[in-house]
Amino acid sequence: MQRVKLLLITLLLSATANAQTVTTEQLAVQHTVIKMFDALSNRDSVSLKAHCTADITLYEYGQVWNIDTLILKAIALNQSADFKRTNSFEFISTTVDKKTAWVTYRLQSVILKDGKQTTVLWLETVVLAKAKKQWKVKHLHSTLIKRS
C-alpha cells in the first residue's frame, strides 16, 4: 500500500512540475496569432496586415510567401459566397524574450467552401516581433499534417 501511495505522489508531483503557467505576455502573443487567423477567416486584409510585420515571410507548401501572396491566395482568390473557416488552436510552446516571441501550436481549420467542408490540420511555428508595444507575426512556418 505504501508503494501505491508513493507512486501516486510521484506522479502528482511530476505532473505539477511539468504544468506550464501561461504569463500575460505569452497570452498576448497567442492572441496575436489567433487574431491573424481570424482576419484570414473573415477575409479581412486590413486586419491581417495589422497583425503582421510588413516584411512577413510564410513558409507554406514548400514555398516562400510574403503578405501579398497570402492575401492573393487566402483572400483575393477566395470569393466563394458560402466560405466559412473556423480555427482551433492547441498551443504547445510559447516563449517570450523582450521583443521576440516563438510559438508552436497545432491548428485545426474547418473550412466550408463551395458547399464542401474540409478539415485541415497543421503544425506551425511562428516568430513574432514586438514594436510599439504590439506583437506582430514576422515568420510563419507551416507543416500540413492532414487534410480530409
Q: What is the pLDDT of residues 80-103, one digit of tens each?
A: 899 999 999 999 999 999 999 999
Q: What is the pLDDT of residues 115-142, one digit of tens each?
A: 999 999 999 999 999 999 999 999 999 9
Report the pLDDT value the prediction gives residue 18, as an integer from 0 to 100: 47
Spatial distance between the Cα atoms of 106 and 55, rounded to a whole number of angstroms: 24
**Phi, psi at 90, each rounded to 5°:** -125, 100
What pTM was estimated for this model as a whole?
0.84
Mind listing the domains of the chain with CATH numbers?
A: 24-147 (3.10.450.50)
Q: What is the pLDDT of residues 5-35, one digit of tens each?
A: 433 344 444 444 445 689 999 999 999 999 9
Spatial distance between the Cα atoms of 29 and 144, rounded to a whole number of angstroms: 22
Inter-CA distances, 101 with 27, 95, 127, 143, Å: 11, 5, 6, 19
| Cell numbers linked to 26 | 505569452
Q: Helix, strand, or coil here: 41?
A: helix
Report the pLDDT value the prediction gives residue 86, as an integer from 0 to 100: 97
